[in-house]
Amino acid sequence: MSYDFDLFVIGAGSGGIATARRAAEYGAKVGIAEFDRLGGTCVNRGCVPKKLMVYASHFPKDFKAASGYGWTVGESKFDWNTMITAVNNEVDRLNGIYQRMLDKSEVKVYQSYGTFIDSHTIAIGDEKVTAEKILIAVGGKPVKPDHISGIEHAITSREIFHIQEQPKRIVIIGGGYIGVEFACILNGLGSEVTQVIRGDKILKGFDEDIRDEIQNAMIENGIRVITNCDCDRMSLTKTDTGLKIKVFTQNNQEETIIADAASLAATGREPRLENLGLENTKVEVVNGAVAVNEYSQTAESHIYAVGDCTDHVNLTPVAIQEGRAFADTHFGGQSKQMAYDNIPTAVFTTPEAATVGLTEAEARAKYGDNIKIYRSRFRPMYYTLPDMQVKTLMKLIVETENNKVVGAHMVGDHAAEIIQGVAIAVKMGATKADFDATVGIHPSSAEEFVTMR
């Protein structure tokens, strides 16, 4: 049978675009559909604009540190509108780059929803196309917990990049990485931030030392963290004086907090599967996500899925790697499979955190007593002259039978940049002896990873 395309991709986010371009490089005829802006969440309402806001939030600390080095820093003033405009201008620029990259790769772009009519046919607006292979890469979206009364008055991580006025008082609901990152951003920019979480600590699933270090630093930096909240009883009410948020802790204490018109619900994300027409295929949806095997293949043998819509590991580089492995295998003559072990990740809080490999709890569950923990907490040299009590935490987890480093964790300045290099060693199976034999770069914080005893 003859098809219009060798590959058609539904969703032009990071994973979809990477797959489309890689397949086209191998000579495949490729089409891609996107109803929203090119680049998906990461470029438009996630990693990129958020990281730019993180940079903006660090300047007050930098101004303070400068005085310790002899600089006289005058009165500083932050303008929210200037920052938001600059951030969104950069997003616009990146959108143009993505369009040019797809054009250069000769990938045909359809600016609309892609909906399955049958397993080989996709409707895009009034047009229909057929494809031999189809990749679903529609990503995810933030969700508001609909059981919270008045939750419609809260914004999500989609809208935070477009509000015109800086919230002077904001309540952030949720203690995952999105919630804590925006808590630190807004606190650094001068907003009064209250974070409400269901448990006793932020960042569930991360190493306990990372959770403790960041939460304590957030509180020291002026963020109020309300723990053990009974979120099912929370309510939001819009009033003339602002948004009234009523919270209940587990010991049944009630408190009312007044925020500005904006309050952020950062309580999770889910795959964006609406308008896909999956019911017209054999593709299975399990727990709200597209079900795939280890090769990103769905129950329909020629339909594949990558990225957040599979709700596997929801990270932009993972979606890109999954997509490229698919393209290399099916169009490049190389059999590749995505490996999910030792995926590094970062949390762009203040202080920043990054991690690769097993947490201490995971290591103990896997190896029992056959692990050794190396931990170092110190003040980086940068903060000595301004006499700022800012700490860095580094941690290595070693499986003692083979002396293999199975986890590396850091909280502190440039954690993501440092852990990215460490991740290569962990991925390659480096031992503690390999770390010890590596000469440190002095003076640097990173050298601590090769000098811990």
What distance in Å separates the CA atoms of residue 103 and residue 101, rounded to the nearest whole number?
5
Cα 410 to Cα 346: distance, rounded to the nearest angstrom: 9
CA separation for the pair 216, 231 (Å, rounded): 22
Query: Omega before 351 cis (within 30°)?
Result: yes
User: DSSP per residue over 4-65, as a string?
Assistant: SEEEEEE--BHHHHHHHHHHHHTT--EEEE-SS-TBHHHHHHSHHHHHHHHHHHHHHHHHHH
Alpha helices in 332-371 (DSSP H): 360-367
Task: Give the integer Cα–Cα distance in Å for 20 and 106.
Answer: 10
Give the residue among 235, 302, 309, 244 at the shortest CA–CA distance from 272.
309
d(CA 185, CA 257): 20
Helices (H) and strands (E) in the chain, counts: 10, 23
Q: Measured between alpha carbons, how far apart are the two ends of the chain, in Å?
A: 65
Q: Reply yes or no on whether 58 is catalytic.
A: no
d(CA 5, CA 240): 56
Distance CA(360)–CA(380), nearest Å, equals 24
Strands 289-290 and 404-411 turn out to be: unpaired
Total Cβ atoms within 10 A of residue 408: 28
Torsion of CA 324, 105, 36, 267, to 10 degrees: 20
What b/e sequence results for 127-166 when a residue is b if at least 16 CB atoms lie within 10 Å of its CB, and e otherwise?
eebbbbbbbbbbbbbbebeeebebbebbbbbeebbeeeeb
State the catalytic residues. Answer: 442
